[in-house]
Amino acid sequence: MSAIGNSIVVVTKGWPYILTGAHPRNVNLRPIKVNQACASKESIATDGDKVYYSSPDGLVEVSSNGIRVATEEYMRKKDWQAFQPSTLIGEFHE
């Protein structure tokens, strides 16, 4: 899990979810219907308004604008797989 704004992004071995709500009793759980499983829980990193994590297809970016595979235009899936996505650790610097 990681927070962006007033929401929490929950990544799973299947679809990611977004939790929103002002109180835990009133939380709305909404699946993001994009099949981008989290390959490594250690890969989850946030810069405040976006959450990134490693998936089998590439580095995934989740924001208030939606979800996308951020590395899609830079490398093919087989090239990404060479990085062994299940071993990646996410972190932001400055």
Q: What pLDDT is attached to residue 83?
A: 94
* Local structure of residue 74 (DSSP, 8 states): T
Q: What is the band of 6 on the pLDDT scale with cuts at 50, 70, 90? A: confident
State residue 75's pLDDT score: 96
C-alpha separations of 5 from 26, 40, 74 in Å: 17, 23, 28
What's the token pair of residue 27? 């939380």
Could you give the count of Cα atoms lying within 13 Å of 62 in the half-sphere of its Cβ? Answer: 31
Longest dimension (CA), the chain: 43
The pTM of this model reads: 0.88
Residue-wise pLDDT tens digits, 38-55:
999 999 999 878 999 999
Task: Give the three-class secondary structure for 28.
Answer: strand
